[in-house]
Structure 1
Amino acid sequence: MDNVTFLVCILIIVGFWRLSRIGRRPKDCPLGPPTIPILGNIHLIPKHDVHLQFQKWAQEYGPVCSVMLGSKVLILLSSGNAIKDILDKRSSVSSDRMDLYMGQTLASGGLRVLMMIRRTLHRLLNINAACSFEPYQVLEAQQMMYDILTEPTRFTEHIRRYANSITTTTTFGYEIWNYLSTCTCSHRESKLKLVRYRVITCEDPYFQEFFKVFGEFVLIAQTGVALILDYLPLLRLLPSWVLPLKRRAKTHHEREKALYRYHWDKAKKIILSSKPNPSFSIGLVDEQRKYRFSDDFASYITGTLLEAGSDTTSNTLNGFICAMLLFPDVQRRAQEELDRVVGSSRSPSPKDQGQLQYVRGCVKESLRWMPTTILGAIPHALTQDEYYMGFRLPKGAGLLNNVYTIHGDAARYPNPRQFDPQRYKDDDQSFFDAATNPDVSKRDHFSFGAGRRICPGMHVAERSLFLAIAKLLWAFEFRCPVDDEGIELVPDPTKVTQGFVCGPVPFEAVITPRDTHRAAIIHREWNMAKERNLDSRTMQWKTFPGGIGTCT
């Protein structure tokens, strides 16, 4: 055998040896399921209900276990202590993001921020900003109540409109009446199109396009091919004719970017040419001037907020209604508290929150019982080796906030599948206070993440959820429908939609007003809100109701 042949043989042997090492769990890593070469544990990841598999592994291998995804290590953090110790206390090294080739690089053109500029997001969505957005939430809640009263079978759509309209107005603001006063009549219609940010109806074309685009992104990002490309980088070299999902992802990105640029370009134009009212985009324009990032990047910051705010809020509210069908005693007890504190002459308002402890418990329990970020959204990643519980957590490893498993821990939440607002009877913390409490045993839930990447929109979300849940309980009775044989059609809370953001699979509910007096109040409050705040022709805001947006 000549030297060249010998060298080639050695290279082949070394290559096969190194290839066989891919997918193996390092000996000093946390325990986990048995691996196979190349794939590691990818073959064990189910297509549906991944959270149940992760819960099973956590129960078998401990609160900190590892899953091998090809060449990458994913650490499942399945206890409150692990979340606090690794994501909170070591946030300086545990706040990176895993490389998601299909979802981030191809389907989003590398622009999907997911808290890439977290300091800016936290500053622009702080508690004071949340208070200034309160008038938007109040008005949208009044329309939601009217819509459900008049079309109760479409409650899912009306809740989704509520959540999305709050998100679009808080993200982009509005400026219509004063802006139009400087326009000639011949240009009036084009100017109206420029500033429409309230989502008036579920048939709104931009509303429908948004959810189509986001739904397509979720489908692309959660496919088996996407998982393999994320964790076996060599396969990314394959051309699109071999992997058509790559072409589909790039096409999706162009459609998504067009939608997000449409909203951002118009918001920025208004901000630079007039005096707009409170919105996230006002601060973002200032940040863009300071750091000089592109309009594409800015549009994806606002687009990410639309995604996060719209689906999480609406899915949580749908989960709450599902719980009311299954736990009628909770519904009755909450209504008794509302009748005692609020009465029947008006519907609840943000100022009632401090006196409605049981209703606040319903809000917190909705986020625990059916968490929308069931796997903690996108995993964090370590920037250096760390050691915990005697194991090495390697640099680059993903860190997954195993929310469903933590929320189902009977030691932390006795009888976890019971919807029980009484868990929080002594908890007067806001979402933020609970999430940042040094004593992790006092944290209410883990739906908003942890560490430096904790959700910056939780202040806004808390107010949106409380207002909606308080008003729904005050106004309506929720019952299961019955079939032709008189058998109740009870929703199955274990069946959830798939993807980064989950919710209950579609279910039916019978929603009726508690009495005619409350129905009349819903009509009156919505009519007064329209007359006071909205342009009768466009149903968009005509002026900002100053003085309402103060913390209660």
Structure 2
Amino acid sequence: MLWEILVLGLTVLTISHLFKKVNRYPPGPRGLPILGNIFQLDSVKPWHTFAKWKEVYGPIIYLDVAGQPVVILNSKKVAEDLLERRASNYADRHRFIVLDKTTGDSIIAFMRPGERWRKMRRASDHALGLKASNNYHNAQTNESVLLAYGILNQPNTWQSQIERLASSSTSLSMVYDLPPLHSLHDPAVNFMNSFVKCIGRVAMPGSFLVDMFPILERVPLFLVKWKRDAEINFNKFSSRFEDMFSKVKNEVASGNEQRPSFCVNLVENQKQNKLSDQDCAWLAGALYSAGHETTATTMNWFIFSMIQFPEIQMRAQEELDRIVGRSRLPSFADIKHLPYIHAIVKEVLRWRPAVPTGVPHIPIEVLLSLLDDYYEGYFIPKGTLCIPCAWSINRDTEVYGSDADEFRPERHLNEKGQLKDETDEGHVTYGFGQRICAGRYVANNALFIQLAVILWTMRLEAIRDSTGVPLKPEIHAEDSNGIFVRPPPFEIHAVARSQDAEAIIQQARDEVMEEALARLDVSQY
């Protein structure tokens, strides 16, 4: 009897050992029973925690968050191996129940794979792809002029100037062909900003218990406030988006000549894309929200970088003076001849990604054999939430060198001062695989022309104290709302680089406003 018990015990231990060996999870911090690592996660700035864990556990980290398996991807190799080379198994999205109810599951970035997602993604790629991105040059140029003029003449409101440009005017112009806006208090801006804030709130991980415990979705409507709010918000947003899209659709149907815009492209290709009016309306609204915070945040970090590193600003201005001259503003005709400006764009996006934790992906089964996954000997079970930490990946020393923490645009240039690879973003801020940002070409163009026009027009300087010492923001300072990360507010001094520069930007601004006033009819929106 004793012998049988010993044999049984050894058998159980052997099977247990073999199971653990075969199903060996990636390394990670030890958690608590049942709750796992839930109390070890920093809910405000988790990217710094992930970066510290990388030094201890390596580029792939396993967490257990109250029973939910999570894998943090902290190197470019690991992220590309899983999210690109095995993209079909990592193309899904974690379901945020409150977000889905608020949007009718109509924001492509948060939709799960399926025929509707594929149709909406194809439509976005067609309207925002490399070739199509050229259609928005005029609107982006006009807004860069207004931004530079605004910062030069009111440097104490530079962040508001960026908000007017990035969070409203450019996006509304590109999406709906609305003329430039004069105020952040415009009704169109107020509505869009309320939408962005609402999405940011309901998409925040951990904001609602139902996202962690889906069984709570069954609680009746009259007992749950989030359900009532979601229904009200969906009806409000959907009605406005459909109204705005319908106005563009009616304009196209009238036969009048249309300026390029995202909505015009959707209307002209609606039958081919097999999308409903509601799908098109939400695609347009979602494009606005996607570009809103990302562009504004990146421009905030650009200003921050120029204040911190005046020598980089000077080198960029030397390139602008050499290529563009001092008698005209930069334009998209100069885009292939200003590699250092491109390098600054790449470096800002790498050094301070707007969303440091990236966007979560979830493994899905394509074939039965892909229910679970193995990588480098580690077991990744189906349903694992995979988070590519853009902050850590953009600082991967194997890719960017030992100075990866430093702001150095030169890392993107070769020995001849040209871009090392024009097709390489130089960062992973736009994401990976099938879920990579569809609007990245449009975003890169917007950032290029904004940076070029601002640096051509003025010097950006730190304000000084009474003794003449520059008051720069602390180099590691950052503010976070849990998703997007910006520098904290700080003051700047903007100085026209010459009287001619001041006159040229004034004239360009007057021409843009004259054109805008001729078209101004924002009230209908």
Range class of TM-score, shorter chain: 0.7 to 0.9
- The equivalent residue for 2:9 is none
Shift of residue 305 of structure 1?
A: 0.7
Distance 1:50 1:247, change over 3 A: farther
Q: Distance in 2 between matches of 1:424 and 1:124?
A: 28
- The equivalent residue for 1:128 is 131
Report the identity percentage: 29
TM-score by length of 1: 0.80
Deviations 1:239-292 (A, max 9, x none): 578764454444443443344333223222223333422222233235543465
Alignment of 1:335 with 2:317, yes or no, is yes
Q: Distance in 1 between matches of 2:231 and 2:478?
A: 31
Q: Distance in 2 between matches of 1:238 and 1:69?
A: 24
Q: Residues 133-172 of structure 1 correspond to what in structure 2 (within 5 A)?
A: 133-163=136-166, 164-172=168-176
Shift of residue 323 of structure 1?
A: 0.7
- The equivalent residue for 2:424 is 434
CA contact (8 A) 2:127 2:133 kept: no
- The equivalent residue for 1:295 is 277
Moved more, 136-145 or 464-473: 136-145
- The equivalent residue for 2:26 is 30
CA contact (8 A) 1:480 1:510 kept: yes
Q: Distance in 1 between matches of 2:246 and 2:488?
A: 35
Q: Which runs of 5+ in 1 are unaligned?
A: 1-23, 174-195, 436-443, 541-552
Distance 1:539 1:152, change over 3 A: farther
Distance 1:40 1:263, change over 3 A: farther
Alignment of 1:390 with 2:390, yes or no, is no
- The equivalent residue for 1:203 is 185
Q: Distance in 2 between matches of 1:509 and 1:406?
A: 31
- The equivalent residue for 2:106 is 111
- The equivalent residue for 2:453 is 471
Shift of residue 169 of structure 1?
A: 2.2
- The equivalent residue for 2:68 is 72
- The equivalent residue for 1:85 is 81
- The equivalent residue for 1:274 is 255
- The equivalent residue for 2:16 is none
- The equivalent residue for 1:349 is 331
Q: Distance in 2 between matches of 1:243 and 1:225?
A: 14
- The equivalent residue for 1:317 is 299
Deviations 1:439-484 (A, max 9, x none): xxxxx10011111111111111111111111111111111222345
- The equivalent residue for 2:93 is 97
Moved more, 69-78 or 129-138: 69-78
Which of 493, 496, 510 pairs up with 1:527? 510
Structure 2 letter corresponding to 1:256? F
Structure 1 letter corresponding to 2:212? Y
Shift of residue 506 of structure 1?
A: 2.4
Which of 430, 433, 451 pairs up with 1:451? 433
CA contact (8 A) 1:170 1:280 kept: yes
Q: Distance in 1 between matches of 2:76 and 2:282?
A: 32
Q: Distance in 2 between matches of 1:27 and 1:466?
A: 47
What SS class does the counterpart of residue 188 from structure 2 fall into?
A: helix
- The equivalent residue for 2:38 is 42
CA contact (8 A) 1:382 1:399 kept: no
TM-score by length of 2: 0.84
Q: Distance in 2 between matches of 1:308 and 1:473?
A: 26
Deviations 1:7-53 (A, max 9, x none): xxxxxxxxxxxxxxxxx9x9533222223344332232223112112
Distance 1:521 1:434, change over 3 A: same
What SS class does the counterpart of residue 495 from structure 2 fall into?
A: strand
Structure 2 letter corresponding to 1:410? T
Q: Residues 373-384 of structure 1 correspond to what in structure 2 (within 5 A)?
A: 373-383=355-365, 384=371
Shift of residue 326 of structure 1?
A: 0.9
CA contact (8 A) 1:377 1:500 kept: no
- The equivalent residue for 1:63 is 59
Distance 1:512 1:224, change over 3 A: same
- The equivalent residue for 1:419 is 407
Shift of residue 353 of structure 1?
A: 2.2
Shift of residue 534 of structure 1?
A: 3.5
- The equivalent residue for 2:17 is none
- The equivalent residue for 1:358 is 340
Which of 284, 287, 308 pairs up with 1:326? 308
Q: Distance in 2 between matches of 1:324 and 1:376?
A: 25
CA contact (8 A) 1:200 1:539 kept: no
Structure 2 letter corresponding to 1:94? Y
Q: Distance in 2 between matches of 1:459 and 1:537?
A: 27
CA contact (8 A) 1:118 1:452 kept: no
Distance 1:250 1:33, change over 3 A: farther
Q: Distance in 1 between matches of 2:205 and 2:469?
A: 38
Q: Distance in 2 between matches of 1:510 and 1:208?
A: 29
Q: Distance in 1 between matches of 2:132 and 2:305?
A: 31
Deviations 1:179-215 (A, max 9, x none): xxxxxxxxxxxxxxxxx45434323221133123312
What SS class does the counterpart of residue 336 from structure 2 fall into?
A: helix
CA contact (8 A) 1:220 1:249 kept: no
Shift of residue 361 of structure 1?
A: 1.0
Query: Across the two proteins, how many residue pairs are aligned to each other?
Result: 482
Distance 1:512 1:521, change over 3 A: same
Shift of residue 388 of structure 1?
A: 0.8
Distance 1:260 1:332, change over 3 A: same
Distance 1:221 1:37, change over 3 A: farther
Distance 1:272 1:31, change over 3 A: farther
Which of 393, 410, 417 pairs up with 2:397? 410
Structure 2 letter corresponding to 1:165? S
What SS class does the counterpart of residue 47 from structure 1 fall into?
A: coil
- The equivalent residue for 1:231 is 212
Q: Which runs of 5+ in 2 are unaligned?
A: 1-19, 112-116, 366-370
Distance 1:158 1:30, change over 3 A: same
Structure 2 letter corresponding to 1:161? R
